[in-house]
Structure 1
Amino acid sequence: MASESPGLITMNIPAPDIPGPKPLSDLPEAVLPAKSCDTHAHLFGPAAQYPYHSDRSYTPPDASRQDYVRLLRTLGFQRAVLVQPSVYGTDNRLLCDTLELAKTKPWGIEWRGIAVTDADIAESELEAMHQLGIRGIRLNMLFRGGIDFATIQGLANRIAPLGWHLQFLIDITQFKDLATRISALPVDSVIDHMGHFRSDQGSRHPAFTSLLSLLRDGRTWVKVTGPNRISSQKTAPYTDAQALAQALMHARPDRLVFGTDWPHVQIPTQIPDDGSLVDELYRWAEHDEQLIQSILVGNPEKLYSF
Protein backbone atom coordinates (compact mmCIF):
# COMPACT_ATOMS: atom_id res chain seq x y z
CA MET A 1 0.00 0.00 0.00
CA ALA A 2 2.69 2.50 0.95
CA SER A 3 5.02 4.00 -1.60
CA GLU A 4 8.59 3.44 -0.50
CA SER A 5 10.57 6.68 -0.45
CA PRO A 6 14.36 6.94 -0.71
CA GLY A 7 16.34 8.40 2.14
CA LEU A 8 14.35 6.87 4.99
CA ILE A 9 16.05 6.52 8.37
CA THR A 10 15.81 2.84 9.24
CA MET A 11 18.47 2.30 11.91
CA ASN A 12 18.56 5.02 14.55
CA ILE A 13 15.45 6.48 16.14
CA PRO A 14 15.80 10.29 16.04
CA ALA A 15 15.01 12.44 19.07
CA PRO A 16 12.09 14.88 18.68
CA ASP A 17 13.09 18.50 18.10
CA ILE A 18 9.61 20.03 18.46
CA PRO A 19 7.10 19.84 21.33
CA GLY A 20 4.07 17.58 21.35
CA PRO A 21 0.41 18.56 21.79
CA LYS A 22 -1.26 19.35 25.09
CA PRO A 23 -2.03 16.09 26.92
CA LEU A 24 -5.62 17.19 27.58
CA SER A 25 -7.77 19.72 25.74
CA ASP A 26 -10.34 22.03 27.27
CA LEU A 27 -13.93 21.48 26.28
CA PRO A 28 -15.17 23.98 23.70
CA GLU A 29 -17.91 26.31 24.88
CA ALA A 30 -20.33 25.09 22.19
CA VAL A 31 -21.69 21.62 21.53
CA LEU A 32 -20.70 20.63 17.99
CA PRO A 33 -23.41 19.51 15.56
CA ALA A 34 -23.72 15.81 14.82
CA LYS A 35 -21.25 14.46 12.24
CA SER A 36 -18.86 17.38 12.66
CA CYS A 37 -15.55 16.78 10.90
CA ASP A 38 -11.99 17.65 11.87
CA THR A 39 -10.47 17.91 8.39
CA HIS A 40 -6.83 18.36 9.35
CA ALA A 41 -4.74 16.22 11.69
CA HIS A 42 -1.56 14.14 11.55
CA LEU A 43 -0.35 10.94 13.17
CA PHE A 44 3.31 10.20 13.98
CA GLY A 45 5.20 7.13 15.05
CA PRO A 46 6.28 5.00 16.59
CA ALA A 47 9.44 5.98 14.69
CA ALA A 48 10.86 2.46 14.90
CA GLN A 49 7.89 1.18 12.89
CA TYR A 50 7.26 4.23 10.71
CA PRO A 51 10.64 5.95 10.14
CA TYR A 52 10.88 9.54 8.95
CA HIS A 53 12.25 10.79 5.66
CA SER A 54 15.87 11.92 5.95
CA ASP A 55 15.13 15.22 4.15
CA ARG A 56 12.70 16.81 6.61
CA SER A 57 12.22 20.10 8.44
CA TYR A 58 11.43 18.70 11.89
CA THR A 59 11.32 15.53 13.98
CA PRO A 60 8.06 15.14 15.92
CA PRO A 61 7.33 13.18 19.06
CA ASP A 62 4.86 10.33 18.69
CA ALA A 63 1.26 11.40 18.15
CA SER A 64 -0.81 8.26 18.31
CA ARG A 65 -4.18 7.32 16.92
CA GLN A 66 -5.36 6.57 20.46
CA ASP A 67 -4.53 10.09 21.64
CA TYR A 68 -6.18 11.62 18.59
CA VAL A 69 -9.38 9.62 19.04
CA ARG A 70 -9.46 10.77 22.66
CA LEU A 71 -9.23 14.38 21.46
CA LEU A 72 -12.01 13.90 18.90
CA ARG A 73 -14.30 12.50 21.56
CA THR A 74 -13.48 15.33 23.95
CA LEU A 75 -14.24 18.01 21.37
CA GLY A 76 -17.27 16.28 19.88
CA PHE A 77 -16.08 15.36 16.37
CA GLN A 78 -17.47 12.23 14.74
CA ARG A 79 -15.54 12.47 11.47
CA ALA A 80 -11.84 13.02 10.80
CA VAL A 81 -9.44 13.49 7.90
CA LEU A 82 -5.85 12.34 8.42
CA VAL A 83 -3.32 14.29 6.35
CA GLN A 84 0.03 12.81 5.34
CA PRO A 85 2.72 14.99 7.00
CA SER A 86 5.84 16.17 5.18
CA VAL A 87 8.21 14.17 7.41
CA TYR A 88 7.01 10.90 5.85
CA GLY A 89 7.46 12.00 2.26
CA THR A 90 5.60 9.52 0.02
CA ASP A 91 5.72 6.70 2.57
CA ASN A 92 2.00 6.50 3.36
CA ARG A 93 2.17 3.35 5.49
CA LEU A 94 1.05 4.88 8.78
CA LEU A 95 -1.86 6.66 7.09
CA CYS A 96 -2.96 3.60 5.14
CA ASP A 97 -2.47 1.20 8.05
CA THR A 98 -4.68 3.41 10.21
CA LEU A 99 -7.42 3.62 7.58
CA GLU A 100 -7.20 -0.14 7.03
CA LEU A 101 -7.61 -0.83 10.74
CA ALA A 102 -10.50 1.64 10.89
CA LYS A 103 -12.43 -0.52 8.44
CA THR A 104 -13.02 -3.01 11.24
CA LYS A 105 -12.38 -0.85 14.33
CA PRO A 106 -13.49 2.72 13.51
CA TRP A 107 -13.49 3.80 17.22
CA GLY A 108 -16.75 5.69 16.71
CA ILE A 109 -15.24 7.90 13.99
CA GLU A 110 -15.76 8.06 10.22
CA TRP A 111 -12.34 8.39 8.56
CA ARG A 112 -10.87 9.83 5.38
CA GLY A 113 -7.28 10.55 4.36
CA ILE A 114 -5.07 12.75 2.20
CA ALA A 115 -1.92 11.07 0.85
CA VAL A 116 1.37 12.22 -0.66
CA THR A 117 2.47 10.34 -3.77
CA ASP A 118 4.91 10.39 -6.64
CA ALA A 119 3.64 11.27 -10.10
CA ASP A 120 4.28 7.73 -11.36
CA ILE A 121 2.27 5.93 -8.67
CA ALA A 122 0.54 2.84 -10.06
CA GLU A 123 -3.16 2.99 -10.92
CA SER A 124 -3.75 -0.07 -8.75
CA GLU A 125 -2.27 1.73 -5.74
CA LEU A 126 -4.43 4.79 -6.31
CA GLU A 127 -7.51 2.58 -6.48
CA ALA A 128 -6.50 0.72 -3.31
CA MET A 129 -6.03 4.04 -1.52
CA HIS A 130 -9.45 5.16 -2.70
CA GLN A 131 -11.03 2.05 -1.20
CA LEU A 132 -9.38 2.87 2.12
CA GLY A 133 -10.84 6.38 2.13
CA ILE A 134 -8.10 8.51 0.57
CA ARG A 135 -9.70 11.45 -1.21
CA GLY A 136 -6.82 13.65 -2.29
CA ILE A 137 -3.10 14.28 -2.63
CA ARG A 138 -1.23 16.84 -0.60
CA LEU A 139 1.36 19.00 -2.31
CA ASN A 140 4.04 20.19 0.09
CA MET A 141 5.40 23.45 -1.27
CA LEU A 142 6.38 24.87 2.10
CA PHE A 143 8.69 22.42 3.92
CA ARG A 144 11.58 20.26 2.78
CA GLY A 145 10.75 16.86 1.36
CA GLY A 146 8.00 18.17 -0.93
CA ILE A 147 7.52 18.71 -4.65
CA ASP A 148 7.14 21.64 -7.02
CA PHE A 149 4.71 22.64 -9.74
CA ALA A 150 6.46 20.47 -12.33
CA THR A 151 4.59 17.33 -11.23
CA ILE A 152 1.25 18.87 -10.33
CA GLN A 153 -0.48 18.71 -13.71
CA GLY A 154 0.40 15.04 -14.15
CA LEU A 155 -0.88 14.16 -10.69
CA ALA A 156 -4.10 16.09 -11.32
CA ASN A 157 -4.72 14.14 -14.50
CA ARG A 158 -4.10 10.85 -12.68
CA ILE A 159 -6.54 11.51 -9.83
CA ALA A 160 -9.32 13.26 -11.75
CA PRO A 161 -11.17 9.99 -12.58
CA LEU A 162 -11.30 9.18 -8.84
CA GLY A 163 -12.90 12.51 -7.96
CA TRP A 164 -9.97 13.42 -5.72
CA HIS A 165 -8.58 16.90 -5.10
CA LEU A 166 -5.14 18.44 -4.66
CA GLN A 167 -4.37 19.93 -1.25
CA PHE A 168 -1.78 22.71 -1.22
CA LEU A 169 0.55 23.26 1.73
CA ILE A 170 1.71 26.64 0.51
CA ASP A 171 2.45 30.26 1.37
CA ILE A 172 0.20 32.08 -1.09
CA THR A 173 2.43 35.17 -1.06
CA GLN A 174 5.26 33.19 -2.68
CA PHE A 175 3.38 32.35 -5.91
CA LYS A 176 2.12 35.34 -7.88
CA ASP A 177 0.64 33.11 -10.59
CA LEU A 178 -0.96 30.64 -8.18
CA ALA A 179 -4.54 31.46 -9.19
CA THR A 180 -3.78 30.94 -12.88
CA ARG A 181 -2.06 27.62 -12.25
CA ILE A 182 -4.77 26.28 -9.94
CA SER A 183 -7.63 27.40 -12.19
CA ALA A 184 -6.14 25.39 -15.06
CA LEU A 185 -6.17 22.11 -13.13
CA PRO A 186 -8.81 19.46 -13.93
CA VAL A 187 -9.55 18.84 -10.23
CA ASP A 188 -10.63 20.88 -7.22
CA SER A 189 -7.96 22.33 -4.95
CA VAL A 190 -7.79 22.81 -1.19
CA ILE A 191 -5.61 25.46 0.45
CA ASP A 192 -4.23 24.66 3.92
CA HIS A 193 -4.30 27.06 6.87
CA MET A 194 -5.82 30.07 5.07
CA GLY A 195 -2.87 30.03 2.70
CA HIS A 196 -0.28 30.47 5.46
CA PHE A 197 -1.01 34.16 4.98
CA ARG A 198 0.25 36.34 7.85
CA SER A 199 -2.68 38.25 9.31
CA ASP A 200 -0.67 41.47 9.71
CA GLN A 201 -0.52 41.77 5.91
CA GLY A 202 -4.23 42.53 5.78
CA SER A 203 -7.12 41.20 3.71
CA ARG A 204 -6.43 43.65 0.86
CA HIS A 205 -3.04 42.13 0.08
CA PRO A 206 -2.94 40.95 -3.58
CA ALA A 207 -2.21 37.36 -2.58
CA PHE A 208 -5.25 37.22 -0.30
CA THR A 209 -7.57 38.92 -2.78
CA SER A 210 -6.39 36.33 -5.33
CA LEU A 211 -7.30 33.58 -2.86
CA LEU A 212 -10.76 35.11 -2.44
CA SER A 213 -11.15 35.15 -6.22
CA LEU A 214 -10.24 31.47 -6.41
CA LEU A 215 -12.70 30.72 -3.65
CA ARG A 216 -15.54 32.54 -5.42
CA ASP A 217 -14.88 30.58 -8.60
CA GLY A 218 -16.10 27.51 -6.74
CA ARG A 219 -13.36 24.97 -7.50
CA THR A 220 -11.08 25.91 -4.60
CA TRP A 221 -11.72 25.13 -0.95
CA VAL A 222 -9.95 26.76 2.02
CA LYS A 223 -9.22 25.30 5.42
CA VAL A 224 -9.95 27.89 8.11
CA THR A 225 -7.33 26.23 10.24
CA GLY A 226 -4.14 27.22 12.02
CA PRO A 227 -4.84 30.80 13.15
CA ASN A 228 -1.91 30.37 15.53
CA ARG A 229 0.31 29.89 12.45
CA ILE A 230 -0.58 33.25 10.91
CA SER A 231 -1.33 35.40 13.94
CA SER A 232 0.98 37.84 15.68
CA GLN A 233 -0.67 36.83 18.96
CA LYS A 234 0.81 33.99 20.99
CA THR A 235 -2.42 32.57 22.43
CA ALA A 236 -6.14 32.50 21.66
CA PRO A 237 -8.17 34.48 20.94
CA TYR A 238 -6.30 35.22 17.69
CA THR A 239 -8.26 38.38 17.03
CA ASP A 240 -5.98 39.59 14.23
CA ALA A 241 -6.92 36.52 12.15
CA GLN A 242 -10.62 37.25 12.43
CA ALA A 243 -10.78 39.67 9.46
CA LEU A 244 -9.21 37.05 7.19
CA ALA A 245 -11.50 34.25 8.35
CA GLN A 246 -14.60 36.38 8.01
CA ALA A 247 -13.59 37.57 4.53
CA LEU A 248 -13.38 33.91 3.51
CA MET A 249 -16.76 33.19 5.10
CA HIS A 250 -18.38 36.07 3.25
CA ALA A 251 -16.85 35.00 -0.08
CA ARG A 252 -17.93 31.34 -0.21
CA PRO A 253 -19.20 29.82 3.03
CA ASP A 254 -19.93 26.62 1.10
CA ARG A 255 -16.23 26.13 0.28
CA LEU A 256 -14.74 26.27 3.78
CA VAL A 257 -13.80 23.46 6.15
CA PHE A 258 -12.31 23.44 9.65
CA GLY A 259 -9.59 21.41 11.30
CA THR A 260 -7.71 21.36 14.58
CA ASP A 261 -4.26 20.88 12.96
CA TRP A 262 -3.45 18.45 15.80
CA PRO A 263 -0.73 17.81 17.00
CA HIS A 264 0.41 21.30 15.88
CA VAL A 265 3.86 20.69 14.40
CA GLN A 266 6.46 23.34 13.67
CA ILE A 267 4.47 26.38 14.77
CA PRO A 268 5.81 29.85 15.66
CA THR A 269 3.77 30.14 18.87
CA GLN A 270 3.14 27.94 21.88
CA ILE A 271 1.04 24.81 21.41
CA PRO A 272 -2.63 25.90 21.28
CA ASP A 273 -5.54 24.35 23.10
CA ASP A 274 -7.79 22.54 20.62
CA GLY A 275 -10.98 23.47 22.45
CA SER A 276 -9.98 27.12 22.13
CA LEU A 277 -9.49 26.66 18.40
CA VAL A 278 -13.05 25.37 18.08
CA ASP A 279 -14.20 28.41 20.04
CA GLU A 280 -12.33 30.60 17.56
CA LEU A 281 -14.35 29.16 14.69
CA TYR A 282 -17.61 29.90 16.49
CA ARG A 283 -16.46 33.44 17.24
CA TRP A 284 -15.49 34.08 13.61
CA ALA A 285 -18.84 32.71 12.46
CA GLU A 286 -20.60 34.89 15.04
CA HIS A 287 -22.32 31.71 16.30
CA ASP A 288 -24.37 31.48 13.09
CA GLU A 289 -25.74 27.92 13.36
CA GLN A 290 -26.31 27.52 9.63
CA LEU A 291 -22.78 28.64 8.82
CA ILE A 292 -21.30 26.38 11.50
CA GLN A 293 -23.34 23.46 10.15
CA SER A 294 -21.94 24.07 6.66
CA ILE A 295 -18.30 24.36 7.73
CA LEU A 296 -18.30 21.45 10.17
CA VAL A 297 -20.73 19.04 8.49
CA GLY A 298 -22.09 19.83 5.03
CA ASN A 299 -18.93 21.08 3.32
CA PRO A 300 -16.59 18.27 4.46
CA GLU A 301 -19.33 15.75 3.67
CA LYS A 302 -19.22 16.94 0.05
CA LEU A 303 -15.46 17.42 -0.24
CA TYR A 304 -14.47 14.07 1.29
CA SER A 305 -17.49 11.99 0.16
CA PHE A 306 -18.64 10.90 3.60
Structure 2
Amino acid sequence: MHSKPPTRSRRAIWRASAIAGAVALLASGCASDSVKRGYLPGFDDGEVTNHTGTITHLWVGSWIAALFVGVVTWGLMLWCIAAYRKRRDDHQLPVQTRYHLPLELMYTAVPILMVLVLFYYTDRDMSQIQDTSAEPDVNIQVIGKQWSWDFNYLDDGVYDSGQHLIDVGGQTEEDEVDGAPGTSAALPTLYLPVGQTVQFQLDARDVIHSFWIPAFLYKEDMIPGRTNTFQVTPTREGTYAGKCAELCGEFHSGMLFNVKVVSQEEYDAHMEDLRAAGQTGELGLDLNRHQDPPATDDLNLEENER
Protein backbone atom coordinates (compact mmCIF):
# COMPACT_ATOMS: atom_id res chain seq x y z
CA MET A 1 0.00 0.00 0.00
CA HIS A 2 1.12 3.51 -0.74
CA SER A 3 0.79 6.25 1.78
CA LYS A 4 -1.58 9.13 1.01
CA PRO A 5 -0.41 12.68 1.54
CA PRO A 6 -2.50 14.21 4.29
CA THR A 7 -4.68 17.16 3.23
CA ARG A 8 -3.94 18.96 6.50
CA SER A 9 -0.29 19.34 5.56
CA ARG A 10 -1.18 20.86 2.21
CA ARG A 11 -3.66 23.23 3.79
CA ALA A 12 -1.11 24.29 6.37
CA ILE A 13 1.50 24.97 3.69
CA TRP A 14 -0.90 27.01 1.56
CA ARG A 15 -2.05 28.92 4.63
CA ALA A 16 1.54 29.71 5.64
CA SER A 17 2.38 30.80 2.09
CA ALA A 18 -0.63 33.13 1.98
CA ILE A 19 0.34 34.68 5.33
CA ALA A 20 3.96 35.13 4.20
CA GLY A 21 2.81 36.80 0.97
CA ALA A 22 0.49 39.15 2.85
CA VAL A 23 3.27 40.10 5.27
CA ALA A 24 5.68 40.75 2.39
CA LEU A 25 3.10 42.91 0.60
CA LEU A 26 2.39 44.88 3.75
CA ALA A 27 6.09 45.35 4.46
CA SER A 28 6.74 46.61 0.93
CA GLY A 29 4.00 49.19 1.31
CA CYS A 30 5.55 50.48 4.54
CA ALA A 31 9.15 50.31 3.32
CA SER A 32 11.37 53.37 3.34
CA ASP A 33 12.59 55.05 0.16
CA SER A 34 15.96 53.37 0.66
CA VAL A 35 14.33 49.94 0.64
CA LYS A 36 12.15 50.79 -2.35
CA ARG A 37 15.22 51.61 -4.43
CA GLY A 38 16.95 48.38 -3.38
CA TYR A 39 19.44 50.14 -1.07
CA LEU A 40 21.07 51.79 -4.08
CA PRO A 41 22.60 55.26 -3.52
CA GLY A 42 19.95 57.92 -3.82
CA PHE A 43 18.03 60.72 -2.19
CA ASP A 44 14.46 61.20 -1.01
CA ASP A 45 14.02 64.56 -2.75
CA GLY A 46 14.46 63.38 -6.33
CA GLU A 47 16.52 61.42 -8.82
CA VAL A 48 20.14 62.46 -9.33
CA THR A 49 20.12 62.04 -13.13
CA ASN A 50 17.67 61.23 -15.88
CA HIS A 51 18.91 57.62 -15.82
CA THR A 52 18.92 56.76 -12.12
CA GLY A 53 15.19 55.96 -12.08
CA THR A 54 15.56 53.53 -14.98
CA ILE A 55 18.54 51.80 -13.37
CA THR A 56 16.76 51.55 -10.02
CA HIS A 57 13.64 50.03 -11.56
CA LEU A 58 15.72 47.44 -13.44
CA TRP A 59 17.62 46.56 -10.25
CA VAL A 60 14.53 46.29 -8.04
CA GLY A 61 12.56 44.43 -10.71
CA SER A 62 15.35 41.86 -11.06
CA TRP A 63 15.36 41.27 -7.31
CA ILE A 64 11.57 40.91 -7.22
CA ALA A 65 11.73 38.34 -10.01
CA ALA A 66 14.53 36.48 -8.20
CA LEU A 67 12.54 36.55 -4.95
CA PHE A 68 9.45 35.19 -6.71
CA VAL A 69 11.47 32.31 -8.18
CA GLY A 70 12.99 31.65 -4.77
CA VAL A 71 9.60 31.58 -3.01
CA VAL A 72 8.18 29.16 -5.58
CA THR A 73 11.26 26.93 -5.35
CA TRP A 74 11.30 26.95 -1.54
CA GLY A 75 7.56 26.32 -1.46
CA LEU A 76 7.83 23.28 -3.72
CA MET A 77 10.72 21.92 -1.66
CA LEU A 78 8.80 22.32 1.60
CA TRP A 79 5.69 20.81 0.05
CA CYS A 80 7.64 17.73 -1.08
CA ILE A 81 9.21 17.39 2.36
CA ALA A 82 5.81 17.55 4.08
CA ALA A 83 3.70 15.60 1.60
CA TYR A 84 6.09 12.77 0.87
CA ARG A 85 7.77 12.30 4.21
CA LYS A 86 8.08 8.78 5.59
CA ARG A 87 5.34 7.82 8.05
CA ARG A 88 5.38 5.31 10.86
CA ASP A 89 3.06 2.77 9.24
CA ASP A 90 4.56 3.11 5.77
CA HIS A 91 7.37 0.62 5.13
CA GLN A 92 7.33 0.57 1.35
CA LEU A 93 9.53 2.48 -1.04
CA PRO A 94 7.79 5.26 -3.00
CA VAL A 95 7.08 4.79 -6.67
CA GLN A 96 10.33 5.15 -8.63
CA THR A 97 9.92 7.47 -11.63
CA ARG A 98 12.63 7.16 -14.27
CA TYR A 99 11.54 10.17 -16.29
CA HIS A 100 8.66 12.60 -16.55
CA LEU A 101 8.59 14.30 -19.94
CA PRO A 102 6.15 17.16 -19.16
CA LEU A 103 8.09 18.05 -16.01
CA GLU A 104 11.42 17.96 -17.85
CA LEU A 105 10.04 20.21 -20.59
CA MET A 106 8.75 22.62 -17.96
CA TYR A 107 12.02 23.03 -16.06
CA THR A 108 13.82 23.51 -19.37
CA ALA A 109 11.40 26.01 -20.89
CA VAL A 110 10.75 28.11 -17.77
CA PRO A 111 14.42 29.05 -17.12
CA ILE A 112 14.87 29.90 -20.81
CA LEU A 113 11.80 32.13 -20.65
CA MET A 114 13.11 33.81 -17.49
CA VAL A 115 16.49 34.55 -19.09
CA LEU A 116 14.83 35.96 -22.22
CA VAL A 117 12.60 38.28 -20.17
CA LEU A 118 15.55 39.51 -18.10
CA PHE A 119 17.61 39.98 -21.27
CA TYR A 120 14.81 42.00 -22.91
CA TYR A 121 14.45 44.50 -20.06
CA THR A 122 18.21 44.77 -19.56
CA ASP A 123 18.85 45.39 -23.25
CA ARG A 124 16.01 47.92 -23.43
CA ASP A 125 17.26 49.95 -20.47
CA MET A 126 20.96 49.74 -21.35
CA SER A 127 20.25 50.86 -24.92
CA GLN A 128 18.45 53.89 -23.51
CA ILE A 129 21.22 54.69 -21.01
CA GLN A 130 24.02 54.33 -23.57
CA ASP A 131 22.25 56.27 -26.34
CA THR A 132 24.37 59.23 -27.46
CA SER A 133 22.24 60.38 -30.42
CA ALA A 134 20.95 63.51 -28.65
CA GLU A 135 22.66 66.85 -29.19
CA PRO A 136 24.58 67.55 -25.95
CA ASP A 137 24.49 70.91 -24.20
CA VAL A 138 27.92 70.44 -22.61
CA ASN A 139 30.97 68.45 -23.77
CA ILE A 140 33.55 67.39 -21.20
CA GLN A 141 36.63 65.24 -21.71
CA VAL A 142 37.70 63.26 -18.65
CA ILE A 143 41.25 61.88 -18.66
CA GLY A 144 42.21 59.17 -16.21
CA LYS A 145 45.83 58.98 -15.11
CA GLN A 146 47.80 57.29 -12.37
CA TRP A 147 46.35 58.31 -10.00
CA SER A 148 44.03 61.25 -10.54
CA TRP A 149 41.90 63.05 -13.11
CA ASP A 150 42.05 65.85 -15.66
CA PHE A 151 38.90 67.60 -16.87
CA ASN A 152 38.76 69.42 -20.20
CA TYR A 153 35.68 71.62 -20.54
CA LEU A 154 35.70 71.52 -24.32
CA ASP A 155 32.98 74.09 -25.01
CA ASP A 156 34.57 76.72 -22.77
CA GLY A 157 38.22 76.03 -23.66
CA VAL A 158 39.36 75.59 -20.05
CA TYR A 159 40.64 72.68 -17.98
CA ASP A 160 41.19 71.52 -14.42
CA SER A 161 43.84 69.07 -13.21
CA GLY A 162 44.04 67.03 -10.03
CA GLN A 163 46.46 65.13 -7.82
CA HIS A 164 45.68 61.85 -6.12
CA LEU A 165 44.90 61.74 -2.43
CA ILE A 166 47.87 60.21 -0.60
CA ASP A 167 46.42 59.92 2.90
CA VAL A 168 42.99 58.45 2.16
CA GLY A 169 42.51 57.03 5.65
CA GLY A 170 43.40 60.34 7.26
CA GLN A 171 40.38 62.18 5.85
CA THR A 172 37.76 63.36 8.37
CA GLU A 173 34.32 64.92 8.15
CA GLU A 174 35.98 68.33 8.28
CA ASP A 175 37.67 67.58 4.93
CA GLU A 176 34.38 66.77 3.18
CA VAL A 177 32.90 69.18 0.65
CA ASP A 178 29.41 70.34 1.66
CA GLY A 179 29.27 67.41 4.07
CA ALA A 180 29.08 64.86 1.24
CA PRO A 181 30.58 61.47 2.24
CA GLY A 182 33.60 60.41 0.18
CA THR A 183 34.50 63.92 -0.92
CA SER A 184 37.52 65.96 0.12
CA ALA A 185 38.66 69.54 -0.39
CA ALA A 186 42.05 68.13 -1.48
CA LEU A 187 40.53 66.45 -4.55
CA PRO A 188 39.80 67.82 -8.03
CA THR A 189 36.17 68.82 -8.57
CA LEU A 190 34.13 68.19 -11.69
CA TYR A 191 31.43 70.82 -12.26
CA LEU A 192 28.20 69.96 -14.09
CA PRO A 193 25.24 72.25 -14.87
CA VAL A 194 21.91 70.96 -13.61
CA GLY A 195 19.29 70.15 -16.23
CA GLN A 196 21.81 70.16 -19.10
CA THR A 197 22.70 67.11 -21.19
CA VAL A 198 26.39 66.40 -20.68
CA GLN A 199 28.40 64.23 -23.06
CA PHE A 200 31.47 62.69 -21.46
CA GLN A 201 34.47 61.77 -23.55
CA LEU A 202 36.54 59.29 -21.55
CA ASP A 203 40.24 58.66 -22.21
CA ALA A 204 43.15 57.12 -20.30
CA ARG A 205 46.82 58.09 -20.40
CA ASP A 206 48.49 54.99 -19.04
CA VAL A 207 46.46 51.97 -17.88
CA ILE A 208 42.79 51.02 -17.74
CA HIS A 209 40.71 53.15 -15.38
CA SER A 210 36.97 53.38 -14.76
CA PHE A 211 34.98 56.60 -14.38
CA TRP A 212 32.42 56.06 -11.61
CA ILE A 213 30.04 58.41 -9.83
CA PRO A 214 28.15 56.09 -7.44
CA ALA A 215 25.21 58.49 -7.04
CA PHE A 216 24.72 58.38 -10.84
CA LEU A 217 24.45 54.54 -10.67
CA TYR A 218 26.68 54.23 -13.71
CA LYS A 219 30.32 53.77 -14.61
CA GLU A 220 32.29 53.50 -17.83
CA ASP A 221 35.75 52.07 -18.52
CA MET A 222 38.62 54.26 -19.72
CA ILE A 223 40.98 52.32 -22.00
CA PRO A 224 44.28 53.63 -23.44
CA GLY A 225 43.98 54.20 -27.17
CA ARG A 226 40.19 54.07 -27.11
CA THR A 227 37.62 56.80 -26.42
CA ASN A 228 34.33 55.90 -24.71
CA THR A 229 31.40 58.30 -24.60
CA PHE A 230 28.10 58.51 -22.76
CA GLN A 231 25.48 61.15 -22.07
CA VAL A 232 23.71 62.04 -18.86
CA THR A 233 21.52 64.88 -17.61
CA PRO A 234 22.04 65.76 -13.91
CA THR A 235 18.67 66.63 -12.40
CA ARG A 236 19.53 67.31 -8.76
CA GLU A 237 21.91 69.95 -7.47
CA GLY A 238 24.39 68.69 -4.91
CA THR A 239 27.89 67.43 -4.22
CA TYR A 240 28.77 63.81 -4.89
CA ALA A 241 31.80 61.53 -4.67
CA GLY A 242 33.57 60.08 -7.67
CA LYS A 243 36.24 57.40 -7.93
CA CYS A 244 38.09 54.98 -10.14
CA ALA A 245 36.39 51.57 -10.23
CA GLU A 246 39.26 49.67 -11.86
CA LEU A 247 42.32 48.53 -9.95
CA CYS A 248 44.97 50.63 -11.68
CA GLY A 249 48.07 50.45 -9.55
CA GLU A 250 49.58 51.08 -6.14
CA PHE A 251 47.66 54.26 -5.29
CA HIS A 252 44.33 53.31 -6.87
CA SER A 253 42.52 54.00 -3.57
CA GLY A 254 43.52 57.67 -3.78
CA MET A 255 42.16 58.16 -7.31
CA LEU A 256 39.13 60.12 -6.18
CA PHE A 257 37.32 63.27 -7.26
CA ASN A 258 34.36 65.45 -6.32
CA VAL A 259 31.31 66.19 -8.47
CA LYS A 260 29.31 69.38 -8.04
CA VAL A 261 25.99 69.69 -9.87
CA VAL A 262 25.23 73.40 -9.81
CA SER A 263 23.07 76.03 -11.48
CA GLN A 264 24.03 77.37 -14.89
CA GLU A 265 25.14 80.64 -13.30
CA GLU A 266 27.48 78.90 -10.86
CA TYR A 267 28.81 76.68 -13.63
CA ASP A 268 29.59 79.69 -15.81
CA ALA A 269 31.27 81.41 -12.85
CA HIS A 270 33.53 78.38 -12.35
CA MET A 271 34.50 78.45 -16.02
CA GLU A 272 35.48 82.08 -15.61
CA ASP A 273 37.52 81.24 -12.50
CA LEU A 274 39.49 78.63 -14.45
CA ARG A 275 40.03 81.09 -17.28
CA ALA A 276 41.22 83.76 -14.86
CA ALA A 277 43.67 81.28 -13.35
CA GLY A 278 45.25 80.78 -16.76
CA GLN A 279 43.93 77.23 -17.21
CA THR A 280 42.90 77.68 -20.82
CA GLY A 281 43.15 75.21 -23.67
CA GLU A 282 43.11 71.43 -23.32
CA LEU A 283 45.30 68.90 -21.56
CA GLY A 284 46.57 66.18 -23.87
CA LEU A 285 47.04 62.45 -23.52
CA ASP A 286 50.81 62.48 -23.08
CA LEU A 287 51.88 59.96 -20.45
CA ASN A 288 52.67 61.65 -17.14
CA ARG A 289 52.38 61.10 -13.43
CA HIS A 290 52.13 64.12 -11.17
CA GLN A 291 53.52 64.41 -7.68
CA ASP A 292 54.28 60.81 -6.79
CA PRO A 293 54.43 60.18 -3.03
CA PRO A 294 57.85 60.02 -1.34
CA ALA A 295 59.75 56.76 -1.79
CA THR A 296 59.47 55.27 1.70
CA ASP A 297 61.35 52.10 0.72
CA ASP A 298 64.66 53.99 0.63
CA LEU A 299 63.97 55.53 4.03
CA ASN A 300 63.15 52.12 5.52
CA LEU A 301 66.34 50.65 4.03
CA GLU A 302 68.46 53.38 5.61
CA GLU A 303 66.73 52.83 8.94
CA ASN A 304 67.42 49.06 8.82
CA GLU A 305 71.09 49.63 7.98
CA ARG A 306 71.45 51.72 11.11
Structure ID, larger Rg: 2
Q: Normalised by the shorter chain, which TM-score bucket?
A: under 0.3
TM-score normalised per structure 2: 0.21
